[in-house]
A and B are shown apart, each in its own frame.
Chain A
């Protein structure tokens, strides 16, 4: 049982490049979400999904795209990377959205130069 797996762990991008951060969970959780963590800002919600085929925006969605074609996978796409997207990204999943504990991936440290 791997839990929540994020790849890659580290990534450096040039401004304007695109990339996809992968997130997979093997706990059959319906709810999945993406956060970014910046110094002094805490965890801020980017996008979330309450089940396969359903996604919605969080607090800071601009510049990011998501899809949820399966229960297991919830990739986060950066369409055209900007230096402001330099951050640590965490994927999380939970059985029943806000009333059950969230399980986090190990994080992806992204630097955009």
Chain B
């Protein structure tokens, strides 16, 4: 059984701080890694994908992948109240069928 683990939170950070969200996965052959953001009452939307070890930056978001340690993280710099949402980590082994974590709730307070 492929597992993707996330701390459910909530993770509470002050506005302007760096939010760090973490995800570990069990399947060593995983190849594709995703972070989806889900606002309350809405559907998930992709914010970052990463396929190789290291960092990938997109605006205020940075995804970090370490395949040896089987973890992927998402950093949100200069956090804003509008970043308050649940962040879902998803992992795929190239089968086109991703496994989703249960999500981490992020609260950014002014």
The answer to whether A and B come from one shared complex is: no
Q: Interface of A with B (CB < 8 Å)?
A: none
